[in-house]
Amino acid sequence: MGCNDTMTCDKNMDCMHCDNATCTLRQYDYDKMGKDVDLMERVRLKKANRDNLYSLEPPFPRSNFLMEVSNVCNHACIFCAHQKMQRKVGKMNKDKAFDILQQAYDLGTREVGFYATGEPFLVPELPEYIAKAKEIGYTYVYLTSNGSVATPERIRAVIDAGLDSIKFSINAPQRKLYEFIHGRDDFDKVMEHLRYLNQYRKETGKNYKIYVTGILTRFTENLKDMYYEVFEGLADQIVFKYVYNQGGYMPEIEDYLRCRCDDEECRKCNLPFDAISVTKEGYLSIENADYENMLIVADLNKVSLYDGWYGDVMKDMRRRFMEDDLKGTLCDGCVHHTTAPARPTMPECSEVDEYIFDDSMVRERIEKSNLTVYVPMAADIIHPGHINIIKTAAQYGKVIVGLFTDEAIASYKRVPYMPYEQRKVVVENIKGVYKVVPQVTRDYDDNLRELKPDFMVHGTDWREGPLADVRAKAISTMREWGGQVIEPDYTKGVSSTMIQKKIVDRAKENS
């Protein structure tokens, strides 16, 4: 593969992001994978270096088969291209689906998931798909759902049909952020359904697995501990994944949603070599999140699954992946974190001639959100460090600056050059500042409790020294309502103290 990613692996992190060539993963044989295999390990294998796969005619997949029974979804997750999808919504032809299920099984596939771009529980025939897969002989049948319409009746139906595991995608562990991320205030409803999943398993003794996954964005990347607290006893495993430009449709993720701790430069992808993705139209796609059918390699209404998997279009895409020659395709944006117009691999299967990227929906959602960010500062001598902090804070919501009063500053260092009212005028006119309030003490507790911001932003300079206790208290206070403390790197080479010293030194030189 053309991408040479040497990122080191954090093995202490329950995160699906591990994709580097040096990671010492246990290489499970897909033939042996089933519901007892660690979920994180399963997903890591999708991105781990597996050189034996990379050929124009790889073995037909035994797992990693997703069927899009419908592309209808009732949520509008901020990182998901479904919110701007132009493809007609609908559901798959059941007879065609059953035929493809049989073809895949006859070719050696033993696992299947009934989801892709849509919410599977919106499909009334979902239990029939599961029962048919089990009847054919599939050993592992699974779902991913947002959980909001997974009512007790629907849960019982899919479990009784033979479902082996279900994964709830819950992309924030608290209600306010959940509504912001998912576009729907369904957090309490999802929790109720998750509890019922556990209750029904206890009542019936059925051995199905229950998972929770969280797609981490810059708004939630610090909330892993809260996930474990909120979902304790409700999931067999909680697994995290950094948000990424899935399928190449959402490059705006780079600017607005990407986790600060995510330093990936090039993304590995094994999908063209070991994944079967069938759309609701009956097309074979490279990507299971192919919202506009831009990555179709075969029309299974016209050719067999075998001929599609080993057909010329798929072989050409595999060659392009192996040679890192992806320009002009959506895959280029996903793999290389780039933004450029793309054309469909099979124009006759897509309603879009050229995919032009538009970030307005994500940008406007963030701008209109009621998320607030508290930023304490003295701002006596404005310098690039202040601008960097405010710029970072503005990425999370409306910035409220807690401006230290003259008395507060004088309590721990010199009297400020400018009085509070003058400093307030300056700060109010900095781009990105929503409001300025007085910070009357070195301790932020009173303002934090009054404002209850969703985020607090402070440079890393307070991790040690006299402000370390203030930091610890602020983190503890923010956690009471699910708030987070964001700590961008301290701007090196500049500080108010340094500037003041230069002013004094120059005054001495000129005297």
Q: What is the residue extent of each domain of the chain? A: 30-360, 370-510
Q: What is the pLDDT of residue 377?
A: 93
Least confidently predicted of 17-26, 151-160, 379-388, 480-489 = 17-26
- Written as six digits, the tokens of 484 are 């987070």
The band of 491, judged by pLDDT with boundaries at 50, 70 and 90, is: low
The band of 169, judged by pLDDT with boundaries at 50, 70 and 90, is: very high
Least confidently predicted of 235-239, 312-316, 464-468, 507-511 = 507-511
Distances in whole angstroms, Cα of residue 48 to Cα of each of 5, 14, 37, 41, 102: 11, 16, 16, 10, 29
Q: What is the pLDDT of residue 502?
A: 58
The band of 3, judged by pLDDT with boundaries at 50, 70 and 90, is: low
Domains 30-360 and 370-510 belong to one CATH topology: no
Q: What is the pLDDT of residue 37?
A: 59
Q: Which CATH number fits domain 370-510: 1.10.10.10, 3.90.1640.10, 1.10.240.10, 3.40.50.620?
A: 3.40.50.620
Sign of CA dihedral 366, 262, 176, 446: negative
Q: What is the pLDDT of residue 249?
A: 95
Give all strands of the β-sheet with 237-242 in edge-to-edge order: 237-242, 209-216, 165-169, 140-145, 111-113, 65-67, 276-278, 283-285, 296-299
Least confidently predicted of 2-6, 117-121, 343-347, 429-433 = 2-6
CA separation for the pair 444, 434 (Å, rounded): 19
Q: Return the bridge partners of 437, or none.
A: 402
CA angle 484/490/496 to nearest 5° reads: 115
CA separation for the pair 20, 4 (Å, rounded): 8
CA separation for the pair 145, 431 (Å, rounded): 40
Neighbours of 362 (CB within 10 A): 20
* Mean pLDDT estimate for the chain: 89
- Rounded average pLDDT over 334-344: 92
pLDDT of 49 > 80? The answer is no
Q: What is the pLDDT of residue 415?
A: 81
Least confidently predicted of 27-41, 250-264, 441-455 = 27-41
What pTM was estimated for this model as a whole? 0.87
Per-residue pLDDT tens over the stretch 138-149: 999 999 999 999
Least confidently predicted of 26-40, 58-72, 91-105, 213-227 = 26-40
Q: What is the DSSP-derived secondary structure letter of residue 294?
A: T
pLDDT of 406 > 60? The answer is yes
Q: Return the bridge partners of 402, or none.
A: 376, 437
Is 395 exposed, middle or buried, given 0-12, 13-18 or 19+ CB atoms closer than 10 A?
Answer: buried
Write the class of the CATH domain 30-360: alpha beta
CA separation for the pair 437, 371 (Å, rounded): 17
Share of the chain above pLDDT 70, in %: 87
The residue with greater pLDDT, 323 or 497, is: 323
Q: What is the pLDDT of residue 26?
A: 34
- Rounded average pLDDT over 156-180: 97
CA separation for the pair 373, 91 (Å, rounded): 42
Q: Return the bridge partners of 355, or none.
A: 342
CA angle 477/231/250 to nearest 5° reads: 85
Q: What is the pLDDT of residue 8?
A: 28
Q: What is the pLDDT of residue 86?
A: 94
Q: What is the pLDDT of residue 201?
A: 98
Q: What is the pLDDT of residue 27?
A: 35
Residue holding tokens 């390990």? 41
